[in-house]
């Protein structure tokens, strides 16, 4: 059975996309606040922000993890 737990999004505007990596242990979010955030799962299964950066001068609409054979690579779409 799964347990649902709320997380503090830590974004300053609307979140447009949330994706998990291939193994389901890392999560990436992107937002209208122009940032991308990486969340890592700790030993208790809680997600915490491990990295955050301003990725563009406009909203970021989509984000995607590459296949693990290419490493921990992210791609994003800013719509411009």
Q: What is the 3-state secondary structure (H, E, C) of the chain?
A: CCCCCCCCCCCCCCEEEEEECCCCCEEEEEECCCEEEEEEECCCCCEEEEEEEECCCCCCCEEEECCHHHCCCEEEECCC
Is 40 inside a domain boundary? Answer: yes
Would residue 37 count as lying in a domain?
Answer: yes
**Taking 80 as the threshold, does the pLDDT of residue 31 lie above it?**
yes
Whether residue 5 lies inside any domain: the answer is no
Range of the domain at 60: 16-77
Q: Is residue 1 one of the residues assigned to a domain? A: no
Write down the pLDDT at residue 1. 65
Domain count, the chain: 1
Residue 73 domain flag: yes
Residue 52 lies in a domain: yes
> For residue range 36-66, what is the model confidence (pLDDT) as tens digits?
999 999 888 888 999 999 988 889 999 999 9
């Amino acid at each position: 059975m799964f347990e649902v737990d709320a997380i503090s999004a830590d974004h300053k505007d609307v979140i447009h996309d949330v994706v998990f990596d291939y193994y389901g242990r890392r999560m990436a979010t992107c937002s209208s606040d122009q940032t991308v955030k990486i969340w890592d799962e700790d030993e208790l299964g809680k997600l915490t922000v491990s990295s955050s950066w301003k990725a563009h001068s406009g909203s970021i609409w989509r984000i995607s993890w590459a296949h693990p054979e290419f490493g921990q690579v992210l791609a994003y779409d800013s719509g411009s």
